[in-house]
Structure formats: C-alpha cells, structure tokens
Structure 1
Amino acid sequence: MADESNTGSIAAAVAPHADVKAPAAKKKRSPRRQKAVAEPRRAVSETPAAKPRRYSEQQRKEKLKLIETQVTEGKVTLKDAIKSAGISEQTYYQWKRTVKPVEQKAEKRLPTGEELADLVRLEEENQRLRKLLAEKLRAENADLRKRLGLD
C-alpha cells in the first residue's frame, strides 16, 4: 500500500530519469545469400541409375524359378543368382513372400466323400459327448446345492 502521509508531488515520482537512454535504432542486416540454383533435370535416358520396372506375375515367377534352379544346382550362390536375374535382394525376398501364400492357397484341396463321412461321424460323436458332459455337470451341481442347502 502507498504511504498516505507522503504528500510529495506525484510528478516528481513519475518524472523520467536522465540516465535512461532511448533505445538505439536497430542494426541493419546484410541481405541473405541466395541459394544455389538447382541443376536442370536430365532426361531419363541419360541417368545412369536403373529405372524402376514393373514385372508381371508371370515374369516374377519365372525369375524366382530361375534363381531357385541356379542355387539348387549349386552353380552360384543366392546373391549371385539374384544379381544375374537383374533384381535386388529386397525385391527377391518380397516376391518370394508374396508368391508363397498364393501357392499355399492353391494346394488346399477339398475333402473327398469318405473324408466327409468321417467328419460327419466325428461331429455327431462330439455332440453326444457334449450332452453327456452337460448332464453330468447338472447332476453334480444339483448334488452340491442339496449339500449346501440352497434348494
């Protein structure tokens, strides 16, 4: 709180101090250096790097088969066979992973008439055993309720 007994002039308390300097003008910065101009892009035919290719499923399977036969015959190592096929190792493993599930689905066969009869017989037996188990559990539960006096 302010001192009420002080009756000095307010103007003296608010008057600016002589030692405080006015803020100096901001220093001018030199302009930024311009970025280097990007080189114009070369035509696709001039680039030494291999362009990305798209292979059909048939071409993929053929290349995978070729690599597999070269490796199994023992002529070359896996890495060399992949290089000779003209693909990278990552591409080889991706293709191999995507081709396998398709082959596994194709190998799945339908059960024959005899197998269907066995399945039906097993389902019937399963149902019969479930009913027996349910009856046993009901009887046991009823017995426990009688012993505990809950009925």
Structure 2
Amino acid sequence: MANPQEAGLAKVDVQTPVAVEAPKSRAKTPRVKKAKPEPVKRTPKAVSKAVESEPVVAPGKRRTYSGKERAEKIAQIRKLIAGGSSVRSAVAEVKISEQTYYHWVKAAPPGEESDDLKDLVALEAENKELKKRLAEHLRKENAELKRKLGI
C-alpha cells in the first residue's frame, strides 16, 4: 500500500512559468506647437497715443502708480463715495481693487487727507499763543495789585 501521507496529497502538475507580457504603453503622439503671435510694431504715432491713454501693461505684470496718481484716484473714489455710491462700485469705476484702495489710504500721509487736520494744528498754535498772552497779562495785573497793597 501507498504511504498514507502521500495518499492525502493530490498530484500537482508542475507547469513551466508562462512569460507575462507587460501592457504596451500608449504610443506617444507629438505635441502640436501653437504659433506665436507676431509682435506688434509701433509707429511713433501709436507710441504717442499709448502714452496719452491708459498705460499698456503686459499680461501678468502689475501696474505701478506714482504718488500723485494714487492721490488722484483716492480723491476720485472719495468723491464717488460722497455722491452715494458704494466703495466696491467706486473702486471698480476707478479700475483698482478694494484691497489696493485700502492699502493706499492706510499708507497716505495724514496731511494729504483733508484741510481739517491743518485747521486743527493752526487752532492749537493759536490757543498756545493766547494762553501765553493771558498768563503775561495776569502776571502784570497781579504785580500791580501787590504794589498797590504794599505786599
């Protein structure tokens, strides 16, 4: 009889390993390059027109404004707001962002905002001068009274 341990084991066919093929990669198609637009040649007239109108800013570049331009734009926005428009619509009309407007207002020197501050400074100087004159007058009056009383 056969060995009982061998009887429990089934006969297993040993097969030779089959070569597994890797999936084929997609064939690469060449990319189509887009044609670059030709640069626009400007004549002297076109350049002078560009300077007179809004400045030409390349895409992705930020527009920088001088201090005078900033002050003008802030004044325009304040005028629009005083006329009853919202900050958002006023800033959109002047073509800057709200955030830029608030940064400019925060960075603006206080003397530039209005004449109220100048008036306040002038009043403070006048009050200081009047206080000096009043103190002088009271000292003279006090000295005269002491002299009359003999003190």
Q: TM-score range by the shorter chain?
A: 0.3 to 0.5
TM-score by length of 1: 0.40
